[in-house]
Structure 1
């Protein structure tokens, strides 16, 4: 009984045997789904689809105020009514002039509306877009950019109240008012990583969504939005002044102040900018780590 000669696996059948050794065939290298390049490609790919998330952001606002006579102007009206009511209330409680208390509260409200929107809606950004994630082959960052763009449109609408306030209560504005633009860009950049990070984590652990909303409501009272931080620091009571300094550990204070100070013509405190820049760097590092590790699982979690 004869044993057939062994042939190389890559040798075509039916031909003469190939003399010598043939190098083994190796598979082409594959790109891991958990590498940094994929995470960065998701962010850049989503930014490249600006026409998509820009259109979707406009549609979100139009859909929310569909068949409304005033449409998005209701955003401005509700913001103005709330700010005026709280301004009159807290001006009486703290004994401040209304021309000082009301602009302080109004600008704080405008900035806080953007921050709280990015956090609360960011925690739900992927769950709310379940259908698009499963059926639309687009980067995850598209939904985050859409959310930040929508909140930016709300912010622009609320600025109408600020412009009206300048006519009623003129502020000592100077060149520093131009710092409000880079300050808002920093705010939007931080809103993007917050929405991405919270969105991924909350998609996996759904119980974090109501917890996040509760924490945001609590931080509203702990952040100097309706109460004036400088008044407490300059208090004659040393105990109150010492406790007021604890607000420096509140990161929302610094994000509020980098925009409120230029818009009200106040002296710019660069310490707030340093803290905001530090939070921006640390936040994006954490976001990229989570995006690199769990980006491919979001479609299974929603």
Structure 2
């Protein structure tokens, strides 16, 4: 049996993608219901998302501002933006490991486009992002920070990150459905990636000789093109070229995998 997708495989995968993206009422409903169920019967409800992230930023921000010898009034806003964006990126990767296994009870009962459940993961994390944006607004007001015109570049940066997330979720979700040890491996790699990504530290702390840690780190690339405009910086053209390169590479991996093996997902559940 060939490992390469046939023309029919590509056609069915394209239909899955177009039909799944068009079914926005389904994946948006599933995503909102996931958030409601997670905080069901909780006194604070969905505000736990904002509260827990805010407590983490406050605690880490004070400690690391002294460790890195950075003023609190500049470091805490820097950290708050980066943590919020990192939470989005890491959350999508983490949730992608169970994107199809979580939907096993649905996929086992009726045929539905697999893309619906990929979008469910992305929208769920966007809802969490919306809650956490409140933290950035409060921190900016507390320290008197006014966004610069560069903030408009958040939109294209976020769109590029979401395109990469769609491809990543397809590939990771499919592989983790087939190989059940992968979610634990990915979790371990994410912990390492957190410290290799400029979330708590500045890129200028690396020096020129270690710039490859950022340049070849896809998490760093997408973090910077979204976070830098909120820091008042215009991302360089090279950052967008790096992001496009990552998207192309992910497409070359995710598209054949999804086209060839999407029909087997139900049998792997």
Q: Same fold (TM over 0.5)?
A: yes
Partner of 1:220: 194
Partner of 2:57: 83
> CA separation in 2, counterparts of 1:291 and 1:297?
10
Question: Structure 2-normalised TM-score?
Answer: 0.94
Partner of 2:20: 46
As a proportion of its length, which structure holds more helix? 2
Is 2:233 the partner of 1:266?
Answer: yes
User: Residue 219 of structure 2: which of 246, 252, 262 is its match?
Assistant: 252
Higher relative contact order (CA 8 A, sep 6+): 2
Partner of 1:294: 261
Q: Point out 4+ residue stretches in structure 1 off by more than 4 angstroms.
A: none
How many pairs were matched up? 264
Mapped contact 1:124–1:199 kept (Cα < 8 A): yes
Q: Report the structure number with the largest CA radius of gyration.
A: 1
Partner of 2:32: 58
The RMSD of aligned alpha carbons is 1.5
Partner of 1:159: 133
> CA separation in 2, counterparts of 1:33 and 1:139?
18
Partner of 1:126: 100
> CA separation in 2, counterparts of 1:281 and 1:147?
21
* 1:128 partner SS: coil
* 1:125 partner SS: coil
Mapped contact 1:91–1:101 kept (Cα < 8 A): yes
Alignment CA distance shift 1:271-1:195 (3 Å): same
Partner of 1:281: 248
Alignment CA distance shift 1:171-1:272 (3 Å): farther
* 2:101 partner SS: helix
* 2:206 partner SS: helix
Unaligned runs of 5+ residues in structure 1 are 1-31, 234-240
Partner of 1:115: 89
Unaligned runs of 5+ residues in structure 2 are 1-5
Partner of 1:25: none
User: Residue 231 of structure 1: which of 202, 205, 210 is its match?
Assistant: 205
Is 2:173 the partner of 1:206?
Answer: no
* 2:248 partner SS: helix
Question: Structure 1-normalised TM-score?
Answer: 0.84
User: Residue 73 of structure 1: which of 37, 41, 47 is its match?
Assistant: 47
Q: Deviations over 1:97-138 (max 9, x none)?
A: 112211111111111111111111101111111111111321
- Deviation (angstroms), 1:272: 1.3
Partner of 1:17: none
- Deviation (angstroms), 1:183: 1.2
